[in-house]
Amino acid sequence: MATQASAITFMSTPGQGYESGLGFVQNYFGMPLALIIVAAVFLPLYRRLDVYTAYEFLGRRFDAKTRLLGAALFLLMRGPRRRHYHLRAGDCALDRFRLAPGCHHRAEWLLVIVYTVTGGSRAVTLTQKYQLALIFGGMVLAFIVLLARLPAGLTLTDAFTVAGGFRKLEAVNFSFDVHQRYTFWSGLLGGLFLSLSYFGTDQSQVQRYSTALRCVRAGWV
């Protein structure tokens, strides 16, 4: 869960909060329940079958055609998305520190590919440990910079007061109105099934805890 956040998460979420407030966080209310179900049901199943991918399970449960179909759909839907949005979001952040804006930083991509291919699961797991530390360090640093750049005479409490006046801090809505985009109930129910499908069957997530289990067995972590 900690290492599935990408550059686009940190670049888009603050913008979403600035534009429409914190109501969108209700989409994640069903996630804790989903992760409990994944840990109690999905994870023991994958571990018992000792599969490398979610689609290997489909092959065992049904047939090779089903496995290939699931894997192909994953590559078609997830590959272009990650190539365009996730990597480009990282580019945009790096552009702030470069003299040549708009550069795609292909050298960095090539370095990551070589590192992960040659290092295998152990390299990926080690990278994720550093990634988690970097995420929390970046959050603390961003908060410090935010405080330092508040206008003169404006305290953090004042900033929250202003944000509240513009209704940006209304994070929970218990309305049953189906026309409301974000509500507690839609987030709880819809977020539960969305998170179950994502964290339970999407290979981008399954590979994380499948790899982690293998690394634990090997004594690498």
Q: What is the pLDDT of residue 140?
A: 92
Which residues, including other chains, have CB under 8 Å from residue 47's CB and lie 6 or more apart?
A: 213
Q: How many domains does the structure of the chain reveal? A: 1
The pLDDT, as a whole number, for residue 20 is 84
Query: 161: Cβ–Cβ under 8 A, 6 or more apart, which residues?
Result: none
The four Cα atoms 47, 49, 53, 55 give a dihedral, to 10 degrees, of -140
* Cα–Cα distance, 70 to 56 (Å, whole number): 9
Query: What's the pLDDT at 97?
Result: 60
**Cα–Cα distances in angstroms (integers) from residue 168 to residues 24, 72, 185, in the given order:** 11, 41, 20
Domain carrying residue 44: 2-218
Instruction: Please name the residues in contact with 85: beta carbons below 8 A apart, sequence gap of 6 or more.
Output: 8
Q: Which residues of the chain have pLDDT under 70?
A: 1-3, 7, 80-108, 220-221
The pLDDT tens digits of the residues spanning 132-180 come to: 888 888 889 989 998 999 988 888 899 889 888 888 888 899 999 888 8
